[in-house]
């Protein structure tokens, strides 16, 4: 994954609470098996109903969202579609949990901003002002005024270093995993029965 440290860009404000993954990426497009080129499906039903706030034709690298953004299903397509729109940072008072993890796994910064501070960011977004998001200091600022955001320590590290979680686990923790498995084989052998049989055969 590419490393992330800071970005200076325009933002879009989408203040609605509980924007779920069905809104971000309607289910019928889940039949698509690629992860690239999903931009035109982002918010597709809202766009076709005349809601032009965000979609394939209108987007920005920073999204100032509402409470519980990305709640609902685990579909990572929602994140891929946002990534395809060019979204790099999402700031909101809270997120759906799986959605937040999915963001981290795709190099998108999902930061939590206190409800009381988010109005200023919305105003800046609506006024088409540039926002500077800095991951090292965990602040987003506009015209010199800074607002802190929160992000998990691990996600921060991962974004800053551009790590791939999967290969990283394999290279750093293979021994721990082997050790765990050895113990579990002894303590819960029923979880290993089908593999044990194969080994004897």
Residues near other proteins (CB under 8 A): 16-18, 20, 22-23, 26-35, 45, 48, 67-68, 71-76, 79-80, 94, 97-98, 101-102, 105-106, 152-154, 157, 164-167, 169-170, 173, 176-177, 180-181, 184, 187-191, 193-195, 198
Pairing, β 109-112 against β 145-148: unpaired
Q: How far is the CB of 124 from other proteins (least distance, A)?
A: 22
Minimum CB separation from other proteins for residue 19, in Å? Answer: 10
Nearest residue (CB) to other proteins, 129 versus 181: 181
Task: Name the DSSP class of 114.
Answer: -
**CB nearer other proteins, residue 143 or residue 195:** 195
Residue with tokens 């607002």: 147
Q: How far is the CB of 157 from other proteins (least distance, A)?
A: 7
Q: How many helices (H) and strands (E) does the chain have?
A: 8, 8
The least CB distance from residue 81 to other proteins, in Å, is 13
Query: What kind and span of H or E run contains 196?
Result: helix 193-200
Sign for the CA dihedral angle at 20, 26, 29, 35 comes to negative
Residue number with CB closer to other proteins (9 or 22): 22
Cβ closest to other proteins, residue 26 vs residue 55 = 26
DSSP string, 51-108: --SSBTTB--SEEEE-TTBTBS---THHHHHHHHTT--EEEES-B-HHHHHHHHTTT-
């Amino acid at each position: 994954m590419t490393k992330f440290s800071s970005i200076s860009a325009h933002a879009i404000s989408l203040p609605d609470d509980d924007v779920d993954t069905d809104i971000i990426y309607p289910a019928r497009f889940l039949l698509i098996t690629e992860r690239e080129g999903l931009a035109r499906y982002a918010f597709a039903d809202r766009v076709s109903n005349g809601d032009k706030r965000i979609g394939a034709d209108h987007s920005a690298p920073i999204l100032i969202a509402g409470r519980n953004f990305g709640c609902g299903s685990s579909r990572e397509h929602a994140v891929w579609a946002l990534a395809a729109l060019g979204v790099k940072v999402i700031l909101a008072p809270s997120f759906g949990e799986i959605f937040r993890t999915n963001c981290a796994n795709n190099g998108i910064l999902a930061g939590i901003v206190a409800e009381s501070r988010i109005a200023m960011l919305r105003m800046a977004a609506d006024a088409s002002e540039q926002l500077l998001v800095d991951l090292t200091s965990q602040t987003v600022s506009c015209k010199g005024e800074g607002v802190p955001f929160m992000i998990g320590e691990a996600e921060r590290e991962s974004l800053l270093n551009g790590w791939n979680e999967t290969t990283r686990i394999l290279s750093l923790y293979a021994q721990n995993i082997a050790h765990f498995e050895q113990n579990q084989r002894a303590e819960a052998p029923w979880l290993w029965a089908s593999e044990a049989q194969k080994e004897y055969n």
